[in-house]
Amino acid sequence: MKRSRAIAIYVCLLCCFWLVGCGRRSESQIRTYGYSAGAEGNRSINGYSVFRKMFQQRGDKTFTAVSYSKALDSMDTIVWTPDTVTPPGLSNRDTLEEWLKGKSGRTLVYIGRDFDASSDYWEHVVEAMPAGQKSRALREQMLSRVEAMENDLGGIHFARWFVVDTTPIRTPVQGLRGKWSDGIDVTATKLATRTELHPALYWDEEKKNLPALLGEDAELSQRFWANSEFRWTPEEIDSISDDEIGKIPDAEILLEADDGRPLVYELNSIEWNNSKIIVIANGSFTLNGALVSKEHRKLAAKVIDACKPKGRVAFLRTGRNGVRMNDPNDSNYATKGLEMFAYWPMNFIVYQFFILGIIICFVVFPIFGRPRALPPTELSDFGQHIEALGGMLSNCRDETFAREKLSEYFRLVRKEPNHPWCLPVAPKMVLPAKPATVFTDASTIIKDPIPIEAEIITAQIQETKN
């Protein structure tokens, strides 16, 4: 009894902790970036769960990847959402290009980390809230803007797939150009860029004469990016090896701002086996908070249409350290039957049962303190006889038989025929008397008949003797 009560108390405490955890969600969950599944991906406006569901609605099978391993060899598309402005390193680029070569028709979608939807979210919240309740919303809005201004990279950097320029300020897109701009109402969009990803298209020795520290002077920066041949500073040019120069892929602009800022472009190479890379400047039209706009959903659908239909899509989220290289002998995603427990909502349910199981194990199995001896069994305890008899009657599984035995006990042993447990006794049936028997030899007639019941008893006695 005490143990069952303790289990009930622990279960109640667990439910209380669970309810506390499911209460008001923190603002940090709203700003979490890059997740496409689980609570982080569904709750955060900086997540990619809606973009992932758009793939699923088209018939694609989606998966979550946290590192590069052999499991990605079965994928047709990888959507890479790094939580850093730092471009992919040399080893990451070489590894993913080898993945592109492994199978024809593969697509790598790279989404730059240059946009934070939480700033626009809190801007709408501030506008909708009453004047007396705007303090917290204003605080969160300012915090989002400060986080959006933070950058873990400075200057201009070459990354073979693109050149990263972190010097411009955040600028909204006023107009669109490119073949993806057809049917898009730019006035209904909220596209903006700060860190710019430019294709690395050209190379010649004349670029060594470019002045250093480009981007500090506004006029010089505008003339620098107006000409697509001007891409790098002298420091960047000196750091590029001949091998990197030969691997620069061809680029096709799919969508750009009217001032020439590339928003989406496609990279191709004859060494990639008809595979391609789609570079998106930022998540301004692919994040959860951004896909509220119909025009943004149109642009996101164009990205999905550029990938292999009804394929296998892996969403890869990384930090500022790039893609972690896992064991190359890892099994394929198709062989992981328990992978479903890693996704929402199964992962949340499994965690709850796992914690509950640990608590039950601590309550039921361990013996805390010194072991105690159980009290000895007393053979003279009549209560044990009653329990044993009750157990025997219960095991017979015949309620009528059990009631008859109890009735006989009260009627024959206790001499209490009127006890509530006594069953009513059916009256004996009296049969009619047998006709008189006439003895002719003695001239005597026996007038008292022998009842048939007595004859039956006599016959039974004779049979027993025989």
Strands 107-111, 163-165: pairing kind: unpaired
**Which residues pair with residue 62 across a beta bridge?**
313
Contact yes or no for 289/309 (Cβ under 8 A): no
- Distances in whole angstroms, Cα of residue 240 to Cα of each of 98, 248, 346, 371: 21, 11, 47, 73
What CA–CA distance (Å, rounded) separates 34 from 336? 24
Q: What pLDDT is attached to residue 433?
A: 59
What CA–CA distance (Å, rounded) separates 73 from 349? 30
Contact yes or no for 47/288 (Cβ under 8 A): yes
Q: Does 102 reside within a domain?
A: yes
Q: Does 438 reside within a domain?
A: no
Residues contacting 411, CB < 8 A, separation 6+: 417, 419, 422, 425
Q: Does 269 reside within a domain?
A: yes
- 3-class SS of residue 87: coil
Q: What pLDDT is attached to residue 231?
A: 41
Q: Does 58 reside within a domain?
A: yes
**Which residues pair with residue 164 across a beta bridge?**
157, 197
H helical segments located in 283-374:
294-305, 346-364
Cα angle for residues 92, 93, 97 (degrees, 5° grid):
115
Residues contacting 109, CB < 8 A, separation 6+: 77, 78, 79, 80, 277, 278, 280, 303, 307
286 secondary structure, DSSP code: T
Q: What pLDDT is attached to residue 91?
A: 83
Structure tokens of 346?
């199964």
Structure tokens of 376?
């000895």
- Distances in whole angstroms, Cα of residue 123 to Cα of each of 24, 41, 173: 21, 21, 18
Q: Does 49 reside within a domain?
A: yes
Phi first, then psi, for residue 205 (nearest 5°) are -70, -20
pTM reported for the whole predicted model: 0.59
In order along its 466 residues, the chain shows pLDDT tens digits of 455 555 455 445 545 544 444 444 445 556 688 888 887 888 888 889 999 999 999 999 999 888 888 888 899 999 999 988 888 888 888 889 999 999 999 999 999 988 877 666 656 555 556 655 555 555 555 555 445 545 556 677 778 888 888 878 778 899 999 999 999 999 999 898 888 888 886 443 333 333 333 333 334 334 433 433 334 444 445 555 556 667 789 999 999 999 889 999 999 999 998 999 999 999 999 998 889 889 999 999 999 999 999 999 999 988 877 777 665 444 444 445 566 666 666 777 888 888 888 888 888 777 777 777 777 777 777 778 878 888 888 888 888 888 888 888 888 888 888 888 888 877 666 566 555 554 455 444 444 554 555 566 666 666 655 5
Q: What pLDDT is attached to residue 201?
A: 67
Q: What pLDDT is attached to residue 416?
A: 83
What CA–CA distance (Å, rounded) separates 296 from 188? 9
DSSP one-letter string for 170-218: PEE---EESGGGTT--GGG---EESSEEE------GGGGGSPSSTTSSH
What CA–CA distance (Å, rounded) separates 293 from 303? 16
Q: What pLDDT is attached to residue 340?
A: 65
Q: Does 108 reside within a domain?
A: yes
Nearest to 62 by CA among 310, 276, 335: 310
244 secondary structure, DSSP code: H
What CA–CA distance (Å, rounded) separates 113 from 86? 9
- CA torsion through residues 297, 299, 302, 303, sign: negative
What CA–CA distance (Å, rounded) separates 247 from 249? 6
Residue 307: count of CB within 10 angstroms of its CB: 22
Residue-range definition of the domain harbouring residue 93: 25-201+248-335
The count of domains in the chain is 1
Q: What pLDDT is attached to residue 425?
A: 74
Residue 29: count of CB within 10 angstroms of its CB: 16
Q: Does 229 reside within a domain?
A: no
Cis peptide preceding 345, ω within 30 of 0: yes
- CA torsion through residues 167, 169, 172, 174, sign: negative
Q: What pLDDT is attached to residue 152?
A: 57
Q: What pLDDT is attached to residue 225?
A: 39
Query: What interhelical angle do 382-395 and 399-408 show, nearest 10?
Result: 140
Q: Does 14 reside within a domain?
A: no
Residue 255: count of CB within 10 angstroms of its CB: 23
Q: What pLDDT is attached to residue 253?
A: 93
